[in-house]
Homo-oligomer: A and B are copies of this chain.
Amino acid sequence: MPTAVTKRDSIVSSALSLFADRGFDATTIPMIATSAGVGAGTIYRYFENKEVLGNTIFQEYVKKFTETLEDGFPSDESIRNQFHHIFKSMVRFTSTQHQALYFIKTHSSAHFLTEESHASFQGLLNILKNLFDSGKKKKKIKMLPTSALIAIVYGSFLEVQRLVQIGELELEAQLLAEIEESMWDAVRLIV
């Protein structure tokens, strides 16, 4: 029963929590209503139906994630520094919104997502695409297909965060730096 100011916020916050924990399909509207402390019908005053609720939340948090990565991006610095910014921002987003990351991770190819939701997710990955494309030009990044480079970094990151979530790993500064270095080693051109 997350805290929230407005009823809409309360519904979104409860739904995110339940979707992340149990998955979209295994979460019922009455569950969300109870957790949000509202009547089931109230949810339909804010969202047309369950799928719209799912898509709205997905897009809302993908947008927040994207903005976190873009915020303060050091366009004029080295690829390595840009990579550091992205990594740091991903960690920052996750630490404040770990349910959101988990929801996005487990639902980014869910059956209920609309074209618009997919597009917003692509927008998120495009930040990595731009980084790697420019890095390849500058001979700093391996000449792998960009999609593969993204998969390697994003996939690693998701699994590491899963460990954090289940309490198997605690990310203090030293470890964080080493994991960043490991991911950087995966994508950097080693001469």
User: A interface vs B, CB < 8 Å?
Assistant: 22-23, 25-26, 106, 109-111, 142-145, 147-160, 162-163, 168-169, 175, 178-179, 182-183, 185-188, 190
Q: List 24 A-B contacts (CB under 8 A).
A: A25-B25, A106-B106, A109-B162, A142-B182, A143-B178, A144-B175, A145-B175, A148-B160, A148-B175, A148-B179, A148-B182, A151-B156, A151-B162, A151-B163, A151-B169, A152-B179, A155-B155, A155-B156, A155-B159, A156-B156, A158-B159, A182-B186, A185-B186, A185-B188
Residues of B contacting A148 in the complex (Cβ-Cβ under 8 angstroms): 160, 163, 169, 175, 179, 182
For the complex formed, measure the closest distance between the CB of A146 and the CB atoms of chain B, giving whole angstroms.
10
Most interface-central of A23, A159, A188 (chain B CB within 10 A): A159
Q: Is the CB of B144 within 8 A of A178?
A: yes
Contact of A169 among B147, B156, B160 (CB under 8 A): B147
Which residues of chain B are within 8 angstroms of A175 by Cβ–Cβ distance?
A: 144-145, 148
With A and B bound together, what is the CA distance between A87 and B110 in angstroms?
28
Say whether A23 contacts B152, CB under 8 Å. Answer: no
Known: A145-B169, A182-B152. A110 touches B159 (CB 8 A): no
From B110, B143, B155, B182, contact of A144 by CB (8 A): B182
